Amino acid sequence: MKNMKLVTPLMILLLPFLFVGCGGGATSSTTVTIIPDVVENESSGGESSSGAAAPVGFGTLKGKVVFKGTAPKLSVLVKMGSKVADAAICSAKDVPDDRLVVNAEGGVANTFIYMAKVPKGLKIPAVENQDVVFDQKNCRFVPHAVIMRTGIPFMIMNSDPIAHNTHTFPKKNNPFNKLVDSKGQSLTYTKEESTPLEVKCDLHAWMRGYHLPLSHPYGAVSNENGEFEIPKMPAGKHQLRVWHEAANGGFIDRKLQVDIKPDETVTVMIDFPADKFSGN
């Protein structure tokens, strides 16, 4: 009996290893609790450590943002030949107002459509670099609106033969405010922003653009036809945000509901009602 007091704790410690080493099924509680975590991180189903069901499968979301009503015609920001700073470049031709760009069919460009919160337990695809380039051409920011991943540097360029400074106005990240020449500047956002942040050039006051840093790839910006696509979205019901700088309060829709099916494409039409347009 005296020796049993020494042997019993040792056998308890070795018991999980004895089961595994014998080639039988994993029956210890230690082994079983590891398996769901691995399955969940691969986004292939099961229960997450928080108890939430993991997404199963991926699909594609496509859509179009359409202005409903008569779209206002905005005046040009800089008329050709105007006496402005660096006129040889900045007023060599008209500089349009990119605040609301609507094509002949009503398609609205530069609309942000993005997932505000990813499903619990979803493993976010890792990326080592991104091909985002934010340029300054003919005294405009190009593209006017862009999404980038957090934690990964992207390039701010200056294709004009004059000085531009890029000045960001984030809520969560550190602001960036530097002169940018033809060599460009690298910028990395470390935190996700809940809404797009404004970008300006202090040397040319009419220049304005928008950045949206996200920690995941589930977002898009509508093109010149109002069209967008978000591939490889996790299957399930999701709530998206639809944001545009010319909408009252910024949001066209704060809670756009979509139901993504595995290996299928879901198409949505998003209306931008004329009464949501902000004239400011």
- The answer, yes or no, to whether residue 47 has pLDDT greater than 60, is no
Residue 48 maps to a domain: no
Residue 49 maps to a domain: no
- Domain containing residue 108: CATH number: 2.60.40.420
| Mean pLDDT for the stretch of residues 141-162 | 98
Residue 223 maps to a domain: yes
Same domain for 206 and 75: yes
Q: Mean pLDDT, the chain, as a whole number?
A: 85
Same domain for 260 and 161: yes
pLDDT tens string 188-227: 999 999 999 999 999 999 999 999 999 999 999 999 999 9
66 or 24: which leads in pLDDT: 66
Query: 35: pLDDT confidence band, cut at 50, 70 and 90?
Result: very low
Same domain for 26 and 83: no
- The answer, yes or no, to whether residue 161 has pLDDT greater than 70, is yes
- The answer, yes or no, to whether residue 253 has pLDDT greater than 80, is yes
Same domain for 15 and 74: no
Look up residue 127 and give its two tokens.
Answer: 């990326």
Euclidean distance between CA atoms 76 and 90, whole angstroms: 12
Q: Are 106 and 130 a contacting pair, CB within 8 Å?
A: no
Domain range holding 37?
Answer: 4-41
Same domain for 103 and 13: no
Same domain for 93 and 27: no
Amino acid found at 258? V
Query: 244: pLDDT confidence band, cut at 50, 70 and 90?
Result: very high
Residue 32 maps to a domain: yes
| Look-up of token digits 């701010």 | 156
Residue 132: HSE in the Cβ half-sphere, 13 Å Cα cutoff: 29
Residue 53 maps to a domain: no
Q: Are 242 and 116 a contacting pair, CB within 8 Å?
A: no
- The answer, yes or no, to whether residue 9 has pLDDT greater than 90, is no
Same domain for 184 and 92: yes
pLDDT score at 20: 40
259 or 39: which leads in pLDDT: 259
Euclidean distance between CA atoms 89 and 240, whole angstroms: 40
pLDDT score at 247: 98
Count of domains observed in the chain: 2
Residue 216 maps to a domain: yes
pLDDT score at 55: 58
pLDDT tens string 95-121: 999 999 999 999 999 999 999 899 888
| Look-up of token digits 């990395």 | 188
Same domain for 192 and 217: yes
Euclidean distance between CA atoms 263 and 151, whole angstroms: 29
Same domain for 16 and 93: no
pLDDT score at 6: 43
- The answer, yes or no, to whether residue 14 has pLDDT greater than 70, is no
Residue 47 maps to a domain: no
Residues in Cβ contact with 199 at an 8 Å cutoff, skipping those fewer than 6 apart: 134, 141, 166, 167, 168, 169, 208, 209, 210, 211
The predicted model scores a pTM of 0.80
Pairing verdict, β 112-115 and 236-243 = antiparallel
Same domain for 182 and 100: yes
Residue 16 maps to a domain: yes
- The answer, yes or no, to whether residue 25 has pLDDT greater than 80, is no
Backbone angles phi, psi at 16, to 5 degrees: -60, -35
Same domain for 139 and 34: no
CA-angle at 147, arms to 142 and 149, nearest 5°: 130
Q: What is the dihedral of CA 277, 273, 216, 129, to 10 degrees?
A: -60
- The answer, yes or no, to whether residue 11 has pLDDT greater than 60, is no
Alpha helices in the chain (DSSP H): 4-21, 29-41, 87-90
Q: What is the dihedral of CA 129, 132, 133, 138, to 10 degrees?
A: 180
pLDDT score at 54: 57
Same domain for 232 and 131: yes
